Structure 1
Amino acid sequence: MDFEHADALNQAIRLLSLRHRARAAALLAPLGLYPGQEALLLELDRSGAMIQAQLSEALGCEPPSVTLMTRKLEATGHISRRPAPADKRASVVELTDSGRALVARIRELWRSLAEETTAGLSARTVAELPGLLKTLTDNVDTRQPRS
Structure 2
Amino acid sequence: MDFEYADAVNQAIRLLSLRHRARAAALLAPLGLHPGQEALLLELSRTGPMIQAQLSEALGCEPPSVTLMTRKLEASGHIRRKSAPSDKRASIVELTESGEALVEQVKQLWCALAEETVTGLPAETAAELPGILKTLTGNVDTRRSRRHSV
- TM range, smaller chain: over 0.9
Amino acid at match of 2:132: L
Runs of 4+ with deviation above 6 angstroms: none
Q: Which residue of 2 aligns with 1:70?
A: 70
C-alpha distance after superposition, 1:49-98 (max 9, x if no partner): 00000000000000000000000000000000000010000000000000
Q: Which aligned pairs between 1:1-147 and structure 2 lie closer than 5 A?
A: 1-145=1-145
Which runs of no fewer than 5 residues in structure 1 stay unpaired? none
- Cα distance, 1:124 vs structure 2: 1.0
Instruction: Give the secondary-structure state (helix, strand or coil) at the position aligned to 1:90.
Output: strand
- Cα distance, 1:123 vs structure 2: 1.3
CA distance, structure 1, for counterparts of residue 127 and residue 95 of structure 2:
30
CA distance, structure 1, for counterparts of residue 28 and residue 98 of structure 2:
16
CA distance, structure 1, for counterparts of residue 12 and residue 123 of structure 2:
21
Amino acid at match of 1:47: T
Scaled by the length of structure 2, the TM-score of the pair is 0.96
CA distance, structure 1, for counterparts of residue 4 and residue 67 of structure 2:
41
CA distance, structure 1, for counterparts of residue 132 and residue 83 of structure 2:
39
CA distance, structure 2, for counterparts of residue 124 and residue 85 of structure 1:
48
Between Structure 1 and Structure 2, how many residues are aligned?
A: 147
CA distance, structure 2, for counterparts of residue 122 and residue 70 of structure 1:
39
CA distance, structure 1, for counterparts of residue 27 and residue 136 of structure 2:
26
Amino acid at match of 2:51: I
Which runs of no fewer than 5 residues in structure 2 stay unpaired? none
Q: Calculate the aligned-residue CA RMSD, in Å.
A: 0.9
